[in-house]
Amino acid sequence: MKLYFHYFLFIQSLLILACQPKSKPSSTIISPKDSTLIRSLDSVAERFLAQNDLPCAVIGLIENGRPLTTLYYGHSEVGKKQKVQGSTVFNLGSISKSLTAWGILRLVEKGEVVLDSPATKYIKTWEFPPHNFDESKITVRRLLGHNAGLSLSGYPGFKNSSELPSTVESLNGLTNGPGRVEVVYEPGTEFRYSGGGFTVLQLLIEETTQMSFSEYMTQYVFIPLDMKHSTFETIDDAHPLQPNLAKPYNGKGKEIIDLNFTARAAAGLRSTSNDMIQFILAELQSGTKSILDEKWIRLMHKPNSSSERYGLGHQVRPFKNKRIIGHVGNNQGWHSNFEFIPETKSGIVVLTNGNDGFYFHNTIMCQWISHQTGERTLEFCATLPLAKIGKLQEMVLDWYTKSYITPIQRDTLHTRFHEIRIIGPSDIKKVIRGLNILEGHLSDNYPDVPKSHIKEYRKISQEVISGLNSVMW
């Protein structure tokens, strides 16, 4: 995925005016520290939306186990100038897996499912394709933790709801590209992200409860947790949530088709910032309602045997004396995440309706994690500068295509400055040093490149340097 930046002042001015935030009132007393966080996130969000094609974004904050505030930016549907609000419905992609884990653990708590039993014990209408592994090791726990040995990391979705296959047909390979779910390595031996494993869990829920997955999740998860605007159903024109549904957009700000999913447990959740705040409060055991005993919630947050960074349907990020737990969700035109810290009962939800949302929520998470832990992580903080390095790479390729530079000059630029893998501070310093050196040599060493191109290159280069320097802070 690539960012396309717009530098025309007129366009920037329009975007700035369109993206002024609105805060949801909160009864929580805002401390000076929390006020600093809100101002910091607001400043970063405004600057990002002014420079990129992201139609809208929502940032919801929780502190001390209570909602703090929610910030709203832009429009859920650009053409109608529909402002985003707390009841605006987004597709949350793989955040579906965290909700599905709650649905499974409810069955475990009720004694209807055993975590360490084989999934095949509960599924009678489908079986795994032929393989050479011990199928009894493909347990419910391992499916939730992505270490059951299964294939198929993600799903592209379908353009038309009429195309949607059944859950069994999807497992058998009607997935619009990725193929069927297979056993590809020894269950229990390693972590390998598998959306396919959650489709197996979806079928398990359907067969165990004799309900559709969507009906079960609505009745036993959404309603008890007071998540009034959440669903795993396909939202057609007659659906009650349709008027609240945001539109998805590509990286150039153009509206695209909203995709549908049979693999709902893996990628089909529709929800709002208000509902996700309710969900985080339940995760923190700070809400007025819950459907699970505390021990099951803690279990979902505990890293599994194959990965210190994933529990049961939840990503886990260890920091000094703290754990940040949550999940990201990325589908075409939608990017979101929710995170929380059990030790401090702090939380955040970020929802967006454009492909640039991936960089937006990483940028916001960089600020939030820094505020909560004092650390700036490469995982989030280096994302946007690295994407801008990608833009520089595009420019170099364009110079070569137009014969402004020779193959040797092209390879020199890429090798010296743009193909360094950043895995630590020393690599960041190397890239910054290389970009700074290049600043003084562009005109002399590449005389055939138009001055306007060099000017734009330098502008983006300085943005990269500034961004990477902030990671070093």
Phi, psi of 124 (to 5 degrees): -115, -15
Please say if the pLDDT value at position 331 is more than 90. yes
Please say if the pLDDT value at position 40 is more than 80. yes
- Calpha distance 282→290 (Å, rounded): 6
- Calpha distance 440→454 (Å, rounded): 11
At 418 the pLDDT is 60
Query: In this structure, are strands 334-341 and 82-83 parallel, antiparallel, or unpaired?
Result: unpaired
Unique residue bearing structure tokens 């991936």: 358
- Calpha distance 76→232 (Å, rounded): 20
- Calpha distance 140→179 (Å, rounded): 22
Q: What is the 3-state secondary structure (H, E, C) of the chain?
A: CCCCCCCCHHHHHHHHHHCCCEEECCCCCCCHHHHHHHHHHHHHHHHHHHHCCCCEEEEEEEECCEEEEEEEEEEEECCCCEECCCCCEEECHHHHHHHHHHHHHHHHHCCCCCCCCEHHHCCCCCCCCCCCCCHHHCEHHHHHCCCCCECCCCCCCECCHHHCCCHHHHHCCCCCCCCCCCECCCCCCCCCCCHHHHHHHHHHHHHHHCCCHHHHHHHHHHCCCCCCCCECCCCCCCCCCHHHECCCECCCCCECCCCECCCHHHHCCEECHHHHHHHHHHHCCCCCCCCCCHHHHHHHCCCECCECCECCCCEEEEECCEEEEEEEEEECCEEEEEEEECCCCEEEEEEECECCHHHHHHHHHHHHHHHHHCCCCHHHHCHHHHHHHHHHHHHHHHHHHCCCCCHHHHHHHHHHHHCCCCCCHHHHHHHHHHHHHHHCCHHHHCCCCCHHHHHHHHHHHHHHHHHHHHHHC
pTM for this prediction: 0.85
At 380 the pLDDT is 86
Strand partners, 80: none
- Calpha distance 316→437 (Å, rounded): 39
Unique residue bearing structure tokens 């309603």: 223
Averaged over 118-122, what is the pLDDT? 97
- Calpha distance 344→322 (Å, rounded): 8
Q: How confident is the model at residue 384 (pLDDT cuts 50, 70, 90)?
A: confident
Phi, psi of 351 (to 5 degrees): -125, 135
At 383 the pLDDT is 80
Strand partners, 307: 304
Go through 213-241 and write b for each residue having 16 or more CB atoms within 10 A of its CB, e for each that does not.
bbebbbebbbeebbbebbbbbbbeeeeeb
At 3 the pLDDT is 37
Averaged over 351-367, what is the pLDDT? 94
139: which 2 tokens?
């347990």
Q: How confident is the model at residue 422 (pLDDT cuts 50, 70, 90)?
A: low
Averaged over 360-368, what is the pLDDT? 93
Averaged over 201-217, what is the pLDDT? 98
**Highest-scoring range by mean pLDDT, 146-150, 235-239, 251-255, 420-424:** 146-150
Tens of pLDDT, residues 241-250: 999 999 999 9
Please say if the pLDDT value at position 166 is more than 60. yes
- Calpha distance 273→411 (Å, rounded): 46
At 16 the pLDDT is 33
Judge contact between 279 and 338, C-beta under 8 A.
Answer: yes
Residue 180, SS3 per DSSP: coil
At 437 the pLDDT is 76
DSSP conformation class of 213? H
- Calpha distance 275→357 (Å, rounded): 20
Q: What whole-number percentage of the chain has pLDDT above 90?
A: 69
- Calpha distance 357→328 (Å, rounded): 11
Chain-centre distance for alpha carbon 135: 31
- Calpha distance 22→57 (Å, rounded): 11
Q: How confident is the model at residue 41 (pLDDT cuts 50, 70, 90)?
A: very high
Lowest mean pLDDT among 140-149, 272-281, 369-378: 369-378
Averaged over 103-127, what is the pLDDT? 97
**Other Cβ atoms within 10 Å of 346 Cβ, number:** 24
Q: What whole-number percentage of the chain has pLDDT above 70?
A: 90
